[in-house]
Amino acid sequence: MTETSETDITGRDGYIIRQALAYAIVTIERLTETWKEASDQDDMRKLLNHLCRSGKPPAEEYLLNAAKHLEHQE
């Protein structure tokens, strides 16, 4: 078993953060205009794109996976 550092609590923090951002972005997209937090969503997209800039999978794949998963929940 490997120990995690203070900057990597779970051993997969980056993945969890990218996935959480994707779920939040997709969820905000599905809200009515009254409840959408467009500036938050825009900033989340910027963060997700930045976190995915040099890695795989790309941000679009996280968003697609989140959307597919949420479709099964509705």
- Assess whether pLDDT exceeds 90 at residue 68: yes
* pLDDT(3) > 80: no
Residue 7 falls inside a structural domain: no
| 14-19 average pLDDT score | 96
Work out the average pLDDT over 34-49.
95
Number of domains in the chain: 1
CA dihedral of residues 45, 46, 49, 52 (deg, nearest 10): -110
| Residue 2 domain flag | no
3 part of a folded domain:
no
- pLDDT on residue 7: 83
With pLDDT > 90 as the criterion, what percentage of the chain qualifies? 80
Question: Has residue 21 been placed in a domain?
Answer: yes
Whether 33 shows a pLDDT value over 70: the answer reads yes
For residue 11, give every residue at least 6 positions away whose Cβ sits within 8 Å of its Cβ, in sequence order, or none: 2, 4
Mean pLDDT (whole number) for 13-26: 96
Range of the structural domain that residue 66 is part of: 13-71
CA–CA separation, 16 and 70 (whole Å): 16
Task: Tell me if 41 is assigned to some domain.
Answer: yes
